[in-house]
Each structure stands twice: as C-alpha cells, then as structure tokens.
Structure 1
Amino acid sequence: MRELTIGKNDAGQRVDRFVSKALPLLPPALLQKYIRLKRIKVNGGRAQRDQRLQEGDVLQLYINDEFFDKPREDNLFLTLFRPSLDIVYEDENLMLLNKRPGLVVHADETEKVNTLINHIQAYLYQKREWNPRWENAFTPALCNRIDRNTGGIVIAAKNAETLRIINQKIRDREIDKRYLCITVGAPRPPQGEVSCFLLKDEKKKQVAVYHRPVPGGKTAVTRYRTLETRGELSLLEVELLTGRTHQIRATMADLGCPLLGDGKYGDGSVNRRYGETRQALYSYRLTFDFPTDAGLLNYLRGRSFQVESVPFREKYFG
C-alpha cells in the first residue's frame, strides 16, 4: 500500500482523474475496477470515482508497485488491460501466436503500445506467469518476426532456455515455416527454387534483387509451389530456406508475379482494382522439424501447427 497526500494544486480533481495522472501505467478499466474493489480509498474510507479531492486528503492505494513506475518502452505493456491474442498453441515454455496483419511485432516510430510483444507480456503478467520485478534480465521475447502487413505464426519464448534453443533451431533451419501468398500472374515454371541476392536500402526500407553477388548483398533462397490459378491470380505455397527482409515479396516481384496488395513491390493499379492495401502473404504453418537434440523442447519434435483460416485464401480461392 502506498499513500499520496493531496496538495493545493491537486485539490478539486476527481479521484479517478487524479489517479490516472499520478499512475499513467494503470489502465483506465483497471483503475475503475480497483475503485469498486475498495483498493483505492480516501482518508481510509471508500472512494467514489467522481469524488472531488480536497487539500490534505490522503489516498490509500492498494496497487502493485510496478504501476507506480514512470512509463518506459519496456513497461508500456502494463497499460494493456485486455491483451488481444490469437493463440495457436501454448505450453509452459512457449507460445505460437497468429499475428493479424496491421499489427507491429515490436515498437517502432509509429507505435509504442499496441504491439504484439506488449500484448504477450501483458497476457503473461496478468496470468502471473511473469513479472519484470521477479527477473534480473529475462523478458518474454519473440523468436521470429513478421512484417506489419503480413499475418501468421510468430513464436514467443517464455524463458531464456527456450529462447536460446529456438533461435539456434531457426539458424540451423530445423524449423519449417510455410507461407501462403497470392500473386498477380502465374509463375513459370509453376514450381521451383529461386536463388538470388538481396541488397537492403535502409533509407527506403526496401530491398533490391540481384542475380550475381554484390557488396552487402545477402543470399536468398526461396522455394514455391503453385496451388491454384484463377484468372490473373495464383495461390502459392512458399518455403524460405533463408530468412531475409521482404524475401518473398521481392523475389516474386522479380519473377514478374508480385504479391497482390503489395505497396512496395507490387502493381498499384491492380491493387486498387481489387481494393487491397496489404500484401496477400501469410505464415500459415510451422513444423518443429528437429533432426538434432532440442533439450527441454524435444517433446515438440515433429509437431506441426497451422492457423485455422487465411482471409485472402478464402476470399479469392474459397
């Protein structure tokens, strides 16, 4: 319990509005709940949310210590009272989340609070599986990333050992990730493997495709298989043998079959005609294909997980 004494400059404010200013990390819905549960009191008595505070009043706040911290990027998850997650699978070591298109995985220049990692941390905090005050260094973390406008399965580690193992398995290509995408045009041949070099332009946040080694270029290997073609649109399953920025988007565009809805590498006139503003790309299936020891994650060997639905597949190929 902590106490706050109301000074002259704070007198006249409503209880709920004063507390929300004093504790900016406390979500408004949780603040109202704490008032109802009598975890916020005035002069030892029950507080009303619209009660006007007087100079000299003493607030008793029965609230977790972390809500008294100053807002920082690493504690903004506390403000998410109702985390929104589509959980594909969860156990004591990890979570598989179906990230919706439009959601960023980590904070960037456009979004600090509504991120996938913040929703994960808020969820685990509210389940009392994790609290930053219990840990010296570890924070639940993502093992892989997906672009803002791409949807699909993301792996989150609940402990340091799981994070270490999954990161190593990704590097060793022992986790099979499959994507679905819709291209404008049908690739020729309908099935194949493409090797190229991708050079990233940090200012444009875009990559260029080369078919010869270039300084700074990274090898990119992509396998694809055409599942169906209807008119000018084709549904493909894609496997990444390397994990490069915008690999599928840039590679398919270079083949002359850009992704539907892709604003960077696609055809704007076609995208507008179909009314699509996000690339039709989804990480829809993941398999823990462990040929080597996986330590405490050996129980996942051979297990495969898939999202229930991919919106653009149902829309155009349902």
Structure 2
Amino acid sequence: MKEIVIGKNEENKRLDSFLKSYLPNASSGFLYKMLRKKSITLNDKKADGKEKLSKGDSIKIFFSDETFDKFHGKQSSHSVEEGNFKALKALGPLEIIYEDSNILLVNKPAGVLSQKSKPSDISLNDWLIDYLVKKGDISTDELGTFKPSICNRLDRNTSGIVICAKSLLGARTMSELLKDRTVDKYYRTIVSGKIGKSSKLSGFLFKDEKKNKVFISQEDPHDTRYSYIETEFVPLEYSSKNNLTLLEVKLITGKPHQIRAHLADQKTPIIGDVKYGGKVIAGQNFQLLHCYRVRFPKEMSIEFSDIAGKEYIAECPEIFDKIFRRG
C-alpha cells in the first residue's frame, strides 16, 4: 500500500487529474476501475475522482509493488540525467538574491542554460530542483506531480536575475505577472558608440529558427511571423576615451534576442555580441548583457506581501567595469 498526503502544490486539483499525473502509465479507464473497487481511496473512503483535493488529504493506493512501479514509472531522485551529477556539482552554489516559500530569485552566471535544449544539458532548472530537494523543500515523491521551474528565461550567455517558482502558487502568480508585464525587468549592458538621451523604441521582430537569429523591421510587415516589440533605453554613462555607453534597458515586451537586435539595429551593438555586429573587447566574445534588477508591483496577494512594491538587484559582473574603464 502506498499513501500520499496532499501538500500545497496539489490542493484544489481534482482527484482524477492528480492520479493521472502521479500514475502516468495507467489509463483513465484503469484508474476509474480502481476507484470503483476501492483499490484507490481518498481519506479511507470510496471516491469517484471528481473530488477537489485539500491539503492534508490522504490518498491510499492498494497495489502490489510491481503494479505500482509499472504505473508510477521510474522516478529519479533528481531532475538530472544519470551521469550529469558531476557537471551539476561543478556549477557550484549560485547566488540567491531572495527566497520565500513560493519563489526564489537567483543570479544566473553567463554560460548557464536556463532550461535544457537536450537531455544531456545541465540547466538552471536542474540546479533549482536539486537545491530544493537537498534543502527538503520538496520531496522526490512530490516531483511526480509538481516540478519547480524558472519563470523567465535568459539566453545562455546573458547573466542576471531569474525568477524561479518553488510552489504551484508561485508558478501561477509569476506567470500572470510576467504575462501582464507588471514585473519590471531592467538590464545593463555596454554598447559601442554614444547614446546621448533616453528613448523608447518599437518595431517588429522575426526569429529565423535555423540561424537562431532575429531580424527587426521598423514598419509593420503585416506578416504573422513578426511580433511587435518595445524597448526603453536610458544612458547611464559615456566614455569618450573608449566611445562606449553604459546603458540601462527596460524590457517592455519579452521576445528572443530583443535587446540585442534592437541595439544592433540602432548601430550601437552590444560589446562582445558578434552575432549582431558587436566588438570583442578584453576577450569578451559573447553579449555583455545582465539582468540587473526586477521590481514587483505594489498590489499583490497576501501570500506575496513580502515582495510587493520591492526591487531586487544583482550587481553586474566585474567584466563590466574592466571593459568600460579600460585604459
């Protein structure tokens, strides 16, 4: 017999939906049959599957170990594929900027994927799950029905703040805020040339998946492959000696490579961003782009009152100062 006690990430789910995710190799017909035969019970009573689950509810599954393993599937103790634990360990402890029971803000270093692109990859998502399992915030059993995940992606070589969801409530709330654009995200970068005043740029962006490169049109091409974009730029400092501008960028829409392509389109490409015409300085051969701060809206639910209206900062890597003030 296997007993599952419902936690905060499973409450309000229907029992049948929970069972389908917990026993992914079992058919719906089989699960309903087991409910009718009381081989699966809810709080020691017969259930039909339509019940809404509450925190603390007890689900008991009266299967043999062999049958349970067959329908539950092989569960890894971590999200990482076997053989990749050394790579995850090499990533080391990441800088946690803020953490509560629902979310976590982490300072992602350049060179780390936000999410896997292939099974052998090690990503920030892997680090997050490994961290939370070892910390005891989530059990390996709970990973069968809910997996913590990142909420906003950064390119592999873009560093800075990534919002991570530890709970289902955190995932839903952050997803809504990001979709509604009520979380303000500010990036810092260094570009070639002088940007003398603040500006708000708009345009239309198309991503060529084969080339993994985006293209911007100033005019509406009336093509469904293009997405409307908006970006705000504020110059912080100009180095006449090096003809470089330290820039803060507010991402209004969030499309792939948006900041990089928009700056290149203005003839002020990001240092190191060779894909979009940027110069290599001091060995910097990828985009010098950093998600520097995020600001949450003032109006948030009681569960997120600790972060409502607050701003969180991840200081720029040392290479920023090295490049901007080089002699």
TM-score normalised by L of structure 1: 0.71
Decide whether the 8 Å contact of 1:104 with 1:116 is kept in 2.
yes
- In the alignment of these two chains, the number of paired residues is 246
Letter in 2 for 1:288: F
What is the CA-CA distance between 1:81 and the residue it aligns to?
5.4
Q: Gaps spanning 5+ residues in structure 1: where?
A: 1-64
The equivalent residue for 1:192 is 199
- Indicate yes or no: 2:256 matched with 1:249: no
Change (3 A) 1:179 1:222: same
Change (3 A) 1:294 1:266: farther
In structure 2, C-alpha distance between the alignment counterparts of 1:304 and 1:198, rounded to whole Å: 29
- Secondary structure of the equivalent of 2:142? coil
- Indicate yes or no: 2:150 matched with 1:142: yes
Query: Which of 293, 314, 318 is equivalent to 2:321?
Result: 314
- Indicate yes or no: 2:310 matched with 1:303: yes
The equivalent residue for 1:86 is 95
TM-score normalised by L of structure 2: 0.70
Q: Which digits, 9 at most, give the CA deviation of each residue in 1:189-221, with x for residues without a partner?
A: 521000011011111111001011221111110
In structure 2, C-alpha distance between the alignment counterparts of 1:315 and 1:219, rounded to whole Å: 35
The equivalent residue for 2:5 is none
Q: Gaps spanning 5+ residues in structure 2: where?
A: 1-68
In structure 2, C-alpha distance between the alignment counterparts of 1:234 and 1:252, rounded to whole Å: 12
The equivalent residue for 2:226 is 217
The equivalent residue for 2:175 is 167
In structure 2, C-alpha distance between the alignment counterparts of 1:160 and 1:223, rounded to whole Å: 32
In structure 1, C-alpha distance between the alignment counterparts of 2:236 and 2:156, rounded to whole Å: 25
Query: Which of 249, 256, 262 is equivalent to 1:238?
Result: 249
In structure 2, C-alpha distance between the alignment counterparts of 1:148 and 1:239, rounded to whole Å: 19
User: Over the residues paired in the alignment, what is the CA RMSD in angstroms?
Assistant: 2.5
Query: Which of 226, 229, 235 is equivalent to 2:238?
Result: 229
Decide whether the 8 Å contact of 1:76 with 1:118 is kept in 2.
no
In structure 1, C-alpha distance between the alignment counterparts of 2:236 and 2:160, rounded to whole Å: 19
The equivalent residue for 1:41 is none
Change (3 A) 1:72 1:249: farther
What is the CA-CA distance between 1:72 and the residue it aligns to?
11
Query: Which of 109, 125, 135 is equivalent to 1:127?
Result: 135
State which drifts further: 233-242 or 131-140. Answer: 131-140
Letter in 2 for 1:266: G
- Secondary structure of the equivalent of 1:296? helix
The equivalent residue for 2:43 is none
Change (3 A) 1:296 1:135: same
Letter in 2 for 1:303: K
In structure 2, C-alpha distance between the alignment counterparts of 1:120 and 1:141, rounded to whole Å: 7
Change (3 A) 1:133 1:235: same
